[in-house]
Amino acid sequence: MAEIEIRNVAKRFGDYQALHDINLTVADQEFMVLLGASGCGKTTLLRIIAGLETATEGEVWIGGKRVDHLAPKDRGIAMVFQNYAVFPHLTVFENIGFGLRMQKLPNDEVKQRVERTATLMHIEQLLKRYSGELSGGQRQRVAVARALAMEPDVILMDEPLSNLDALLRMEMRAELKGVLAESKTTAIYVTHDQVEAMSMADRISVMHQGKIVQAASPIEVYRNPSAVFVAGFIGNPPMNFLSATPAGDGKWQVAGNVIDGPHAKGPLQFAIRPEDMSPSESGLTATAKVVEPLGAHLLVTCEVDGKIFRAVLDSDLTVKTGDVLTLAPQADRVRWFNPETTLAVA
Amino acid sequence: METRYLPYILILPVTLFLCLFFLYPFVLVAQQAFWTDSGWSMQNFRDVTGHWKFPISLKNTLYLAAIVVPVQLVLALLMATMVRNMKKGRDLVLYVWTIPLGISDLAAGIIWLAIFEQSGFLNSMLSGLGVVDKPINLLTYQNPGIVFIAIALAEIWRATAIMLVILVAGIGLIPKEYYEAAEVFGASPWKRFTRITLPLLRPSLSTALVIRVILAFEVFAVVQAIGGTLFPVLMSETFNYQFELLNSGAAAAVALIILAISIAFTVLILRLLRVPKGATI
């Protein structure tokens, strides 16, 4: 059982405020992803949980125990580093067994646990090699095996797949998710890659400028972004925005159309995902600027109301540059944001 | 021009330079060592090793190296580790620590002589504090231990920085992540030093040790300034044969013996600190 609780954590580096009043609870055995652009504070937060960095304010609790004053080794955590940090002077066996040796476990047990995790990560044939003789993907596996061999309550991962090529990354993503689910460990995973976050997480915490903007399940973050930042950051191509002016009684004027919306004071921002539109007889008038046939679908970058607007359409459609389309937004997928607070309006 | 010849052409000047100023004199010295009036022979070697001062000077040289080099190694490692963890003033501290490198070894010897001699700083201080009634002559044949300590101190003071600069550069090459990983996986500061720093520092350690050990077998000016004839070493024997006894054959033989010892230790150090293939940073 290892629930993680971050209470009012803040971090300052001199004058620079890296984290503002972070509150986050990660449930036992949950896979939590910290997602954000570089410099948003996600790695700092992970390092504070690991104990490699000290919070300026706030508390860190793991498994019902306050740990922010404890050394990393006393927190029941293991970590996978971005550059793997596989010790070059030790064999794969000794790398995986490093933490166990530090705990002074008997040789038999070290051997048994190293071999078991090595088999789990499919590197049992590499145990005698040095890290200089391994590929990036193999080193990655060693780093994960080293963390798993500790049988930790919590496993912390700092962009573990970012140095792998695209194909390997996809393969490892699925494998890592399976292995971690099997190990019943609580996991915190830092990444800037939204696809990684969406595909692996039980819950995503989207971070921006040292704050957690939204913490929710991947589909919730995707469908109901709580702020403009989340809407623009998650999803590729990103969500489309158009300005909306009130037309009275919950109706909004968007690019010459009247659309049902919330009962709120205007102006608002109308938002729709590129795949939530289809050509129709009535709707937004869009002039196609760039047409990219991607095989599975057709990505059309158009201009609506003088703004860039992207639509993901059925690949059977024939659209040429300069065509004028009429796109109807799917009513239940339309979202509204307050342009001043940048927050979602229900 | 064919590019495959280019590297050889580029190293040609330095090769010629080395042949002219190093290889050629070396051959001359070897010739002198093995040549006597009666032709090629080992006579010079038999003469110098048979002399009563040879075992003493060999023993003194080895003892001095055996004490000075390990002490310097430990000090240099300690200093390099301290510097690594410094956030401010690191460069200033390094400059101060490397000042002795800028002083010639004879000058260093004279500085330490000024401390230990009868009218030196140490005696002034001791008599000023009332520990001794009148200045005592420390550096005499009755006090071989003090002579040895004075020479060892001067050598440690003078040449630790040579190892320090090499080790500082080496420690700087070890990525911080290895230490963080070791810390997360439960290694104490001492374990991090023995399990991460030392093994990853092997290339720098072997360079530093080889240079320092070779210099230790060549020790001369400091010994001459402080110990004079009280503390014969191999290099002072070479000097005596050449300039006092005007026997350049014997001088060349001692010089070759020093070279042989240096090569033997170099090979040993490189072997002991060899990094297995694939195990480099």
* A235 domain-assigned: no
Boundary-marking domain end, from A202, A226, A250: A226
Same domain, B69 and B168: yes
Whole-prediction pTM value? 0.84
Same domain, B206 and B69: yes
Same domain, B226 and B259: yes
Q: Is B53 an 8 Å CB contact of chain A? A: no
Query: Best interface-test mutation with A: which of B184, B194, B206 has the largest number of A CBs within 10 A?
Result: B184
Q: Which residue has the higher pLDDT, B278 or A36?
A: A36
Identify which of B178, B187, B278 has the shortest CB distance to residue A133.
B278
- Print the domain residue range for B10: 1-41
Looking at the predicted structure, is the pLDDT value of residue B5 above 80? yes
Q: Which of A156-160, B75-79, B154-158, B277-281 has the lowest mean pLDDT?
A: B277-281
Same domain, A44 and A193: yes
Same domain, A194 and A318: no
* A219 domain-assigned: yes
**What is the ipTM metric for this complex?**
0.86
Identify which of B183, B187, B199 has the shortest CB distance to residue A89.
B199
Q: Is A105 an 8 Å CB contact of chain B? A: no
Subunit contact A88:B281, Cβ cutoff 8 A: yes
- What is the pLDDT at residue B1? 62
Same domain, A94 and A8: yes
* B184 domain-assigned: yes
* B83 domain-assigned: yes
Q: Which residue has the higher pLDDT, B70 or B119?
A: B70
Subunit contact A89:B180, Cβ cutoff 8 A: no
To the nearest whole Å, the CA of B263 is away from the closest chain A CA by 27
Same domain, B94 and B2: no
Q: Is A70 an 8 Å CB contact of chain B? A: no
**Strand order across the A324-329 sheet:** A307-314, A297-304, A277-293, A324-329
Whole-angstrom distance, CA of residue B218 vs CA of residue B233: 9
B15-38, pLDDT tens digit by residue?
999 999 999 999 999 988 888 888
Q: Is B189 an 8 Å CB contact of chain A? A: no
Same domain, B191 and B257: yes
* A233 domain-assigned: no
Subunit contact B184:A72, Cβ cutoff 8 A: yes
Boundary-marking domain end, from A183, A199, A226: A226
To the nearest whole Å, the CA of B4 is away from the closest chain A CA by 29
CATH code: domain of residue B69 = 1.10.3720.10
* B134 domain-assigned: no
Whole-angstrom distance, CA of residue A17 vs CA of residue A27: 27
Subunit contact B184:A77, Cβ cutoff 8 A: yes
Looking at the predicted structure, is the pLDDT value of residue B163 above 80? yes
Same domain, B93 and B195: yes
Boundary-marking domain end, from A201, A226, A251: A226
Same domain, A172 and A45: yes
- What is the pLDDT at residue A107? 94
Identify which of A51, A85, A146 has the shortest CB distance to residue B178.
A85
3-state SS, one letter per residue, for chain B: CCCCCHHHHHHHHHHHHHHHHHHHHHHHHHHHHHEECCEECCHHHHHHHHCCHHHHHHHHHHHHHHHHHHHHHHHHHHHHHHHHCCCCCHHHHHHHHHHHHHCCHHHHHHHHHHHHCCCCHHHHHHHHCCCCCCCCCCCCCCCHHHHHHHHHHHHHHHHHHHHHHHHHHHHHCCCHHHHHHHHHCCCCHHHHHHHHHHHHCHHHHHHHHHHHHHHHHCCCHHHHHHCHHHCCCHHHHHHHHHHHCCCHHHHHHHHHHHHHHHHHHHHHHHHHCCCCCCCCC
Count of structural domains, chain A: 2
* A264 domain-assigned: yes
Same domain, B30 and B166: no
Same domain, B80 and B176: yes
Which residues in A lie closer than 8 A to residue B184 (C-beta atoms)? Answer: 50-52, 72-73, 77-79
Same domain, A97 and A191: yes
Count of structural domains, chain B: 2
Same domain, A219 and A247: no
Under the banding of pLDDT at 50, 70 and 90, the label for residue B247 is confident
Maximum CA pair distance of chain A?
A: 76
Residue-wise pLDDT tens for chain A (346 aa)? 689 999 999 999 989 999 999 999 999 999 999 999 988 999 999 999 999 999 999 999 999 999 999 999 999 999 999 989 999 999 999 999 999 999 999 999 999 999 999 999 999 999 999 998 998 889 999 999 999 999 999 999 999 988 888 888 888 898 899 998 888 899 999 999 999 999 999 999 999 999 999 999 999 999 999 999 999 999 888 999 999 998 888 889 888 888 888 888 878 999 999 999 989 888 889 999 999 998 889 999 999 988 899 999 998 888 889 999 999 999 899 999 999 988 998 7
* B62 domain-assigned: yes
- What is the pLDDT at residue A265? 83
CATH code: domain of residue A65 = 3.40.50.300
Q: Is B186 an 8 Å CB contact of chain A? A: yes
Rg (CA), chain B: 23
Identify which of B177, B199, B280 has the shortest CB distance to residue A85.
B177
CATH code: domain of residue A278 = 2.40.50.140
Same domain, A199 and A222: yes
Same domain, B85 and B181: yes
* B144 domain-assigned: no
Same domain, B14 and B103: no
Same domain, A254 and A218: no
Subunit contact A83:B177, Cβ cutoff 8 A: yes
Same domain, A175 and A250: no
Identify which of B182, B202, B279 has the shortest CB distance to residue A130.
B279
To the nearest whole Å, the CA of A214 is away from the closest chain B CA by 29
- Print the domain residue range for A41: 4-226
Subunit contact B177:A81, Cβ cutoff 8 A: yes
* B133 domain-assigned: no
* A260 domain-assigned: yes
